[in-house]
């Protein structure tokens, strides 16, 4: 409507007006009018909401519709910059200040992406330097080998990482990744999972302290910079996590130590193919240790721990949702090799573990109702969500009924990695997205 010249107004809450204008610009409407509701809507009662609407928001909406700019400026022609041009020359300190002033760096020291360094990366791909690999939302900018390499140089990657990074960008662009929504105020961070022979070729860490060793930190940082500089997610403007984010991270599956098929085989790839998977998580939290006991085996304890961890997650209110209105969610279980082996020895396959957690991650409907009403954004009840077709019928039962908190075993993904001498596991949740896997060329 805006691009057709029909006046529109975007209603935002405090802190999101810059994001609204940024999103409009990304989709070709550069002069969106914004009317801002004051304060955090989520903790305002109905009386306060009515007062804020009547006490100024309506006037701001009317003013924006009658006197604000229309979308006529959205059709202005821009002259594209030369992607191979030098943007700045100076000392290391001057370069650092220049990049920081344009919000291109993540605040840490970086390697200046000189032409020579970028060209060293380009020699590791058959793609042309300015060939379009993908268009990344929400900025809708073209990811090319040249700008992928520039961000990789900044992150401290090596030239031989280039094919892996190109595949990771292809995965980021997959619509199932839903990169548009990664700026959520809940705080979402992307991560990279590497499978296949390339893990050993590049020395990607799969064992102890895997996200902190070898090339893993640099590769993760490169993905974070690509999300920042090509996808356009800038902290505080369009990357809205309230408490910020850890850096994007990289890990590899410990295929030699796993009793099961690798993750990428479950995604339809041959074992000898190297792949990159992009996932997201809202948390990088504690890692419980399941122990063998006289009354419960280590395998039974591990299954119980996973079920308990699932029910502690922030996005619990979305986990059981079904139908076209359901939001995509993912749960990734990182499991050290000893835990995986104990489960396999007890007769469990990956599919069996997923099915067990689906069937046994249950809680009283009363407790789920509390989560839905007081920590979700819907201001609704489970009965209303059932009537709308978003929750399954069991959520319209009695308060004491136990309800399954997962919609399907399919939202659970299992990766065997980490210290082969430790019995640890971690359950990571992610909203809006599904893991997306691409082969490395």
pLDDT in tens, 99-144: 999 999 999 999 999 999 999 999 999 999 999 999 998 888 999 9
HEC profile of the chain: CCCCCCCCEEEEECCCHHHHHHHHHHCCCCCCEEEEECCCHHHCCHHHHHHHHHHHHHHHHHHHHHHCCCHHHHHCCCCCCCCCCCCCCCCHHHHHHHHHHCCCCCCCCCCCCCHHHHHHHHCCCCCCCCCCCEEECCCCEEECHHHHHHHHHHHCCCHHHHHHHHHHHHHHHCHHHCHHHCCCCCCCEEEEEEECCHHHHHCCCCCCCHHHCCCHHHHHHHHHHHHHHCCCCCECCCECCCCCCCCCEEEECCHHHCCCCCHHHHCCCCCCCCEEEEEEECCCCCCCCCCCCCCCCHHHHHHHHHHHHHCCCHHHHHCCCCCCCCCCEEEEEEECHHHHHHHHHCCCCHHHHHHHHHHHCEEEHHHHHHHHHHCCCCCCCHHHHHHCCCCCHHHHCCCCCEEECCCCHHHEEEEECCCCCCCCEEEEEEECCCCEEEECC
Q: How far is CA 180 from CA 26, 335, 418, in A?
A: 11, 29, 31
- CB distance 10 to 226 below 8 Å: no
| pLDDT over threshold 70, residue 271 | yes
pLDDT category at 69 given cuts 50, 70, 90 is: low
Positive or negative, the CA dihedral 274, 278, 284, 290 is: negative
How many percent of the chain have pLDDT more than 70?
96
Stronger pLDDT, 5 or 50, i.e. the higher one: 50
- CB distance 338 to 418 below 8 Å: no
| pLDDT over threshold 90, residue 82 | no
Per the document, the length of the chain is 441
The pLDDT of residue 75: 46
The predicted model gives 198-224 an average pLDDT of 97
| pLDDT over threshold 70, residue 78 | no
Question: Hey, which residues does 428 pair with through a beta bridge?
Answer: 332
pLDDT category at 68 given cuts 50, 70, 90 is: low
CA dist 71 and 64 (Å) reads 12
What would the two tokens of residue 320 be?
Answer: 């059981």
| pLDDT over threshold 50, residue 74 | no
The predicted model gives 401-410 an average pLDDT of 95
Out of 165-174, 206-215, 240-249, 266-275, which region has the weakest mean confidence (pLDDT)? 240-249
Stronger pLDDT, 270 or 6, i.e. the higher one: 270
The predicted model gives 272-291 an average pLDDT of 91
| pLDDT over threshold 90, residue 45 | no
Neighbour tally for 35: CB within 10 Å: 21
The pLDDT of residue 81: 78
Q: Kindly report the CA angle at 437 between 323 and 118, in degrees rounded to 5?
A: 135
Out of 88-92, 114-118, 185-189, 386-390, which region has the weakest mean confidence (pLDDT)? 185-189
Q: Give residue-wise pLDDT tens across range 408-427.
A: 999 999 999 999 999 999 99
CA dist 179 and 226 (Å) reads 12
CA dist 389 and 371 (Å) reads 19
The pLDDT of residue 70: 46
Q: Give residue-wise pLDDT tens across range 344-374.
A: 999 999 999 999 999 999 999 999 999 988 8
The predicted model gives 179-201 an average pLDDT of 91
């Amino acid at each position: 409507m805006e691009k057709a010249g029909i006046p529109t107004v975007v209603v935002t809450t405090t802190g999101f007006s810059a994001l609204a204008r940024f999103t409009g610009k990304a989709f070709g409407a550069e002069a969106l009018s914004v009317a801002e509701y004051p304060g955090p809507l989520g903790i305002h009662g109905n009386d306060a909401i009515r007062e804020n609407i009547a006490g100024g928001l309506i006037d701001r909406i009317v003013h924006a519709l009658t006197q604000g700019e229309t979308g006529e400026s959205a059709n202005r022609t821009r002259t594209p910059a030369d992607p191979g041009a030098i943007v700045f020359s100076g000392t290391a300190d001057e370069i650092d200040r220049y990049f920081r002033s344009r919000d291109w760096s993540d605040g840490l020291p970086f390697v200046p992406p000189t032409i020579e360094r970028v060209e060293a990366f380009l020699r590791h791909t058959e793609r042309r330097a300015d060939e379009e690999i993908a268009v990344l939302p929400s900025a809708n900018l073209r990811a090319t080998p040249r700008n992928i390499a520039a961000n990789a140089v900044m992150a401290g990657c090596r030239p031989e990482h280039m094919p892996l990074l190109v595949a990771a960008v292809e995965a980021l662009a997959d619509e199932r990744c839903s990169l548009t929504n990664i700026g959520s105020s809940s705080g979402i961070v992307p991560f990279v999972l590497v499978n296949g022979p390339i893990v050993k070729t590049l020395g990607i860490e799969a064992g102890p302290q895997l996200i902190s060793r070898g090339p893993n930190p640099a590769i993760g940082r490169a993905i974070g910079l690509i999300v920042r500089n090509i996808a356009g997610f800038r902290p505080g403007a369009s990357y809205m996590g309230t408490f910020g984010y850890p850096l994007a991270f990289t890990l590899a599956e410990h295929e030699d130590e796993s009793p099961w098929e690798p993750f990428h085989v479950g995604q339809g790839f041959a074992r000898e193919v190297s792949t990159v998977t992009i996932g997201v998580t809202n948390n990088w939290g504690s890692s419980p240790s399941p122990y063998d006991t006289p009354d419960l085996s280590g395998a039974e304890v591990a299954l119980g721990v996973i079920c308990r961890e699932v029910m502690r997650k922030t996005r619990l209110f979305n986990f059981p949702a079904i139908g076209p209105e359901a939001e995509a969610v993912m749960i990734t279980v990182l499991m050290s090799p000893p835990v995986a082996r104990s489960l396999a020895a007890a007769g469990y396959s990956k599919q069996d573990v997923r099915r067990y957690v689906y069937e046994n991650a249950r809680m009283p409907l009363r407790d789920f109702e509390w989560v839905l009403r007081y920590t979700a954004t819907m201001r609704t009840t489970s009965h209303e969500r059932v009537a709308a077709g978003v929750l399954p019928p069991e959520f319209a039962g009695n308060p004491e009924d136990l309800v399954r908190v997962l919609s399907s075993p399919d939202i659970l993904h299992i990766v065997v990695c980490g210290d082969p001498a430790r019995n640890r596991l971690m359950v990571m949740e992610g909203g809006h997205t599904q893991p997306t896997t691409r082969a490395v060329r």
